[in-house]
Amino acid sequence: MATTIEYLNAVHGDLLDAAKREARAGRRPPARWVPSTGMVAAVVGVLVLAGLIGVIARSDGFGSDDAGQSAAGRAGGTGATGAPAGVLPETVPGLGDDQTIHGNGGQGPPAVSRVIRTAELAIVIPRDAFDERFGEAVDVAEEQGGFVADSRSRNRSGSLTLRVPAANFDQTLHALRALGTVEVESVHGEDVTADYVDLHANLRIARARREVLLGLMADAVSIEQTIRVQNALDETQLRIEQLQGQLRLLDDRTSLATIGLRLREQGVEPESEVEKASIPNAFERAAAGFVGVIAAIVIGLGYLIPILLIGLAAWFVVSRLRRRRTV
Amino acid sequence: MNEGGVHEGLDDAELILRSSREPELFGLLFERHAEAMLAYFARRTLDAESAAELVAETFAEAFSSRRRFRDEGVDGAGWLYGIGKHLLSRYFRAGAVEARARRRLGMPERTVSDDDYDRIEELIDFERFGEALAEAMSVLPEEQREAVRLRVVDERSYREVAAALECTEPTARMRVSRGLRRIAGVLETDPSEAPIELERRRWQRRSST
């Protein structure tokens, strides 16, 4: 380097050293933009903040969802238990001709809305009270005219599936809540009135068809005619039985509400979660968690981006003004 | 230099382009332009140390971003001085030379020796500024103006300046350096926006009240 200025000679050496380091490392030269630690920290900070905001925003959303569901459940409840006016006009006159399809004491035609009511309750009970409270839960079901459809217990925790008349659904829940501290409660109501009406209409048509076929049977003159009518009659009869079966099922599910009850003593791990701790489940939960985090970040960014843009604009204006003032 | 022989015939743009595969070729670019650039910065900053640092930072920045260079219209030197100009304006705004590019490359920060001070100030060629300099000097605080006059106009050594001002040599150097920096601000930018001008107004306001 042909200069007498030592500083330049030194920098020349430094520059060649840097070049040699780069050549030795055999890597591409540093990208034109190397993010500094501060920049990385800022980006991570923004993402974490976005995630937190997203989680808060989503948990709010879930809260209102839950409220909506239980409200729907309760609204449906009054529909099934009583006879609210005008929920469903009597559009299907004459459907109740055949009382036999109403297996549960002949509740009549579906002039009112039909709702399948289900509830999930998780209750924490005091220590050493499991047997007693488990028994009480069974008593509650029986007092309300229902029964225990399924029960399991292990290690001072257990679960019960109770079936109670839809009319006593709310009272049953009320009584069950008194067993301990409610940990989880969700109430669900599914309106199946339309299905019910459809089934009844199809049933009426099938019955009418059977009547016609029976008439033809009586009029049949040849063996061939008789066999053909008989086949059609068999099909129709089968169809009628299927429809009746479906109606009976629907009847059962709407007239009897289902309550899933989980009981556990304080300090005892919830039974279901112990069972769920398997590897495939872990992957499933990890995947769901990942998607959840990304979703939360996206939601959070939605909240943050406008604020960041405003902040950026403000910073730009302020730095402009300051520069003009100081320079 | 060893790269010299084979690559001497390459122009700046070719040198920069080839340096992306052969990084050491960048040293040749430094040899060609460093001293002229030092003079360029010295005349604008009127400060030997800042000028030297600006050269180092400009080449470090250019080295880091040499892959961005496209041989389209701007020749190699133009590109280099473009980076330099950018850093110079940042220097005038911040009052200090950045060291970001040098740090990124792991280059140490060098200090300017006493001999270098003299040599770099020779590059400034103060006579060229003539009247502008004299006028700019009038706005300096007394002690800085005196230091600058002794050093720049009377061309005395720092030891003599220190003796005349009855202070230590480093103090004398600092006064000259600060005075020149302010003057550089006046000469480089629109006078109404120069920090020196604002400073002067503030000073006048203070002295008039």
Predicted confidence (pLDDT) per residue in B136-181, tens digit: 777 788 888 888 888 877 778 888 888 888 888 888 888 888 888 8
Residue A32 in tokens: 């034109």
Residue with tokens 């299905």: A195
What pairing do the DSSP bridges indicate for beta strands A256-265 and A115-125?
Answer: parallel
- Residues in chain B with CB shorter than 8 Å from the CB of A14 are 56, 102, 107-108, 110
Q: Distance between alpha carbon B73 and the CA centroid of its chain, in Å?
A: 27
Task: Determine, for residues B35 and A3 on separate chains, whether the beta-carbon distance falls below 8 Å.
Answer: yes
What confidence tens digit (pLDDT) does each residue in A47-73 have? 888 888 888 877 664 444 444 343 333
CB pairs under 8 A between A and B: 104
Give the closest-approach CA distance of B110 to chain A in angstroms: 7
CA-nearest of B20, B22, B48 to B6 is B22
CA-nearest of A249, A218, A251, A244 to A97 is A244
Within 10 angstroms of residue A110's Cβ, the number of other Cβ atoms is: 26
Interface of A with B in 30-59 (CB under 8 A): 30, 32, 34
> Is any Cβ of chain B less than 8 angstroms from the Cβ of A327?
yes
Residues in Cβ contact with B69 at an 8 Å cutoff, skipping those fewer than 6 apart: B13, B16, B17, B76, B79
Query: What local confidence, expressed as pLDDT, does residue B198 receive?
Result: 43
Question: By CA distance, what is A14's nearest residue in B?
Answer: B107
* Contact assessment for residue A176 and residue A123, using Cβ atoms and an 8 Å cutoff: yes
Give the closest-approach CA distance of B17 to chain A in angstroms: 13
Q: Which parts of chain A are beta strand (E)?
A: 115-125, 147-154, 157-165, 181-191, 256-265
HSE of A160 in the Cβ direction (CA atoms, 13 Å)?
26
Within 10 angstroms of residue A321's Cβ, the number of other Cβ atoms is: 10
Q: What Rg, from alpha-carbon coordinates, does chain A have?
A: 36
* Contact assessment for residue A206 and residue A238, using Cβ atoms and an 8 Å cutoff: no
> Is any Cβ of chain B less than 8 angstroms from the Cβ of A14?
yes
Helix (H) or strand (E) segment spanning residue B148: helix B142-148
Query: What local confidence, expressed as pLDDT, does residue A78 receive?
Result: 38
Give the closest-approach CA distance of B135 to chain A in angstroms: 20
Question: By CA distance, what is B36's nearest residue in A?
Answer: A3
Task: Determine, for residues B23 and A29 on separate chains, whether the beta-carbon distance falls below 8 Å.
Answer: yes
* Contact assessment for residue A50 and residue A301, using Cβ atoms and an 8 Å cutoff: yes
The CA distances from residue A181 to A37, A119, A263, A264, B9, in Å, are: 49, 16, 10, 10, 88
What letter does residue A151 receive in the DSSP assignment? E
* Model-level ipTM above the cut of 0.90: no
**Of residues B125 and B61, more confidently modeled:** B61
**Of residues A218 and A110, more confidently modeled:** A218
Query: What local confidence, expressed as pLDDT, does residue A60 receive?
Result: 61
> Is any Cβ of chain B less than 8 angstroms from the Cβ of A23?
yes
Phi/psi at A258 (5° precision): -115, 130
> What does the alpha-carbon distance between residue B9 and residue A187 come to, in Å, rounded to a whole number?
85
Question: By CA distance, what is A30's nearest residue in B?
Answer: B64
Q: Averaged over A150-167, what is the pLDDT?
A: 86
Give the closest-approach CA distance of B161 to chain A in angstroms: 23
Q: Which parts of A141-255 are beta strand (E)?
A: 147-154, 157-165, 181-191
Within 10 angstroms of residue A89's Cβ, the number of other Cβ atoms is: 8
Residues in Cβ contact with A134 at an 8 Å cutoff, skipping those fewer than 6 apart: A151, A153, A158, A160, A263
**Of residues A250 and B6, more confidently modeled:** A250
CA-nearest of A264, A286, A303 to A54 is A303
> What does the alpha-carbon distance between residue B77 and residue A220 come to, in Å, rounded to a whole number?
110
Residue with tokens 């006048």: B204
Task: Determine, for residues A21 and B106 on separate chains, whether the beta-carbon distance falls below 8 Å.
Answer: yes
> What does the alpha-carbon distance between residue A117 and residue A149 come to, in Å, rounded to a whole number?
15
Residue B118: pLDDT band by 50, 70, 90 thresholds? Answer: confident
Least confident among A124-138, A186-200, A201-215, B177-191: B177-191
Query: What local confidence, expressed as pLDDT, does residue B62 receive?
Result: 93
- Region of B113 please: left (phi>0), alpha (psi -120 to 50) or beta: beta
Residue A89: pLDDT band by 50, 70, 90 thresholds? Answer: very low
What confidence tens digit (pLDDT) does each residue in A111-137 have? 567 889 999 999 998 888 888 888 888
Residue A270: pLDDT band by 50, 70, 90 thresholds? Answer: low
Task: Determine, for residues B60 and A10 on separate chains, whether the beta-carbon distance falls below 8 Å.
Answer: no
Of A5, A19, A324, the CB nearest to B35: A5
- Please count the residues of chain A: 327
Question: By CA distance, what is A11's nearest residue in B?
Answer: B56
**Of residues B209 and B82, more confidently modeled:** B82
> What does the alpha-carbon distance between residue A212 and residue A188 come to, in Å, rounded to a whole number?
43
* Contact assessment for residue A168 and residue A258, using Cβ atoms and an 8 Å cutoff: no
> Is any Cβ of chain B less than 8 angstroms from the Cβ of A278?
no
Give the closest-approach CA distance of B149 to chain A in angstroms: 25
> What does the alpha-carbon distance between residue A194 and residue A200 come to, in Å, rounded to a whole number?
10
Residue A30: pLDDT band by 50, 70, 90 thresholds? Answer: low
Three-class SS state of B20: coil
Query: What local confidence, expressed as pLDDT, does residue B60 receive?
Result: 94
> What does the alpha-carbon distance between residue A256 and residue A167 come to, in Å, rounded to a whole number?
8
Residues in Cβ contact with A118 at an 8 Å cutoff, skipping those fewer than 6 apart: A187, A188, A189, A190, A257, A258, A259, A260
Of B24, B60, B119, the CB nearest to A4: B119
Give the closest-approach CA distance of B188 to chain A in angstroms: 12
> What does the alpha-carbon distance between residue A241 and residue A254 come to, in Å, rounded to a whole number?
20
> What does the alpha-carbon distance between residue B33 and residue B16 come to, in Å, rounded to a whole number?
13
Q: Where are the alpha helices (DSSP H) in B106-194?
A: 114-124, 130-137, 142-148, 158-165, 169-188
- Residues in chain B with CB shorter than 8 Å from the CB of A11 are 30, 34, 52, 55-56, 59, 107, 110
> Is any Cβ of chain B less than 8 angstroms from the Cβ of A20?
yes
> What does the alpha-carbon distance between residue B126 and residue B119 come to, in Å, rounded to a whole number?
13
> What does the alpha-carbon distance between residue A185 and residue A119 come to, in Å, rounded to a whole number?
7
Residue A209 in tokens: 């068809």
- Residues in chain A with CB shorter than 8 Å from the CB of B104 are 30, 34
Residue A211 in tokens: 């009547």
CA-nearest of A145, A126, A93 to A266 is A126
Of A15, A21, A29, the CB nearest to B27: A15
- Residues in chain B with CB shorter than 8 Å from the CB of A7 are 52, 56, 110, 112-113, 116, 120
